Structure 1
Amino acid sequence: MAAIDRDGWLADAVVVPALGWLSGTRVDVRVRGGLVVVTADSQAVFRVTRPGQVRLPATVRHWCGLTAGSRLLLVADPAMGRLVVHPPAAVHAMIISFQAAAWDGEAA
């Protein structure tokens, strides 16, 4: 879990470095199915600044309803070379779905 700051920066000392992204690594940031997917791309505009710091653009933050202090679930997928950022709405939907399955489809 990480919080996003007012300028869209998220920092994590473990998850982002697990991808091998160093300062200066160019990254592509896209929204897919309500999740933010960050991948290394030598042609991308955005960069990892310091180890573990990635900035989510304002348009992405707006689409996902992210504000300063929003807590995000970060998942590194080193095999695929991507960071998947789960906004609060996505985490909430996963919890509701998981609980419904645990109670055989009954509302919790």
Structure 2
Amino acid sequence: MSGLVLPVIPSSASPSGRRELRRNPLPLASFPLVRERDAVYGLCTLGANGRISDRALLAVLGWVPGTRLGIWESGGLLVVSVDPGGVFGITAAGHLMLPSSARRWVRLRKGDRVLLVANPSVARLIVHPPVVLDAMVAPVHEVAFGGEVS
């Protein structure tokens, strides 16, 4: 045979000649119907000198250039909060600069993607480093994918 391709005809599985496909329904995740928190989320790439440039998220907190801040570590997270006596602040360009000491506390490097969680009711920003995100996501993926961790 030269260049002839024969058609593939599937066998029929039903009297009508059509093959019936039955699938089990997909499992649905259960989520609360109403949000119980005022958290606002953002993702950001940590810039040079620890710059966080998500101005929209900082605006939700009411932080403007010159706002004085305190920064500390808690459970592997960086917590940033208004502190009138704080030595850190929002820059004139509207950015938050995480000092090198704070970045070292949680092993952050330039270019790391971080999850930012703003809590406007308490004027607090929580920075989640990649290692914390890995620890948070792994158990959820294990359940979702039946024991396989992604």
Per the TM superposition, whether the score is higher than 0.5 is: yes
Structure 2 unmatched runs, 5+: 1-42
Distance (Å, rounded) in 2 between the aligned partners of 1:50 and 1:82: 20
Distance (Å, rounded) in 1 between the aligned partners of 2:143 and 2:122: 28
Residue 49 of structure 1 is matched in structure 2 by: 91
Distance change (3 Å), C-alpha of 1:88 and 1:52 = farther
Distance (Å, rounded) in 1 between the aligned partners of 2:120 and 2:131: 24
Structure 1 unmatched runs, 5+: none
Native 8 Å contact 1:22 1:51 kept in 2: no
Instruction: Write the letter of the residue equivalent to 1:63.
Output: W
5 Å-filtered alignment, 1:5-84, equals 5-50=47-92, 52-84=94-126
Q: What secondary structure, in the 3-state scheme, does the structure 1 residue paired with 2:117 have?
A: strand
Structure 1 runs of 4+ aligned residues shifted over 3 Å read 100-104
Higher normalized contact order (CA 8 Å, seq sep 6+, divided by chain length):
1
Residue 34 of structure 2 is matched in structure 1 by: none
Distance (Å, rounded) in 2 between the aligned partners of 1:97 and 1:46: 35
Q: Provide TM-score, normalisation by structure 2.
A: 0.66
Aligned residues: 107
Q: Provide TM-score, normalisation by structure 1.
A: 0.89
Instruction: Note the aligned Cα RMSD (angstroms).
Output: 1.6
Instruction: Write the letter of the residue equivalent to 2:104.
Output: H
The alignment-based identity, stated in percent, is 36
Distance change (3 Å), C-alpha of 1:17 and 1:89 = same
Higher radius of gyration, 1 or 2: 2
More strand by share: 1
Residue 10 of structure 2 is matched in structure 1 by: none
Question: Is 1:87–2:137 an aligned residue pair?
Answer: no
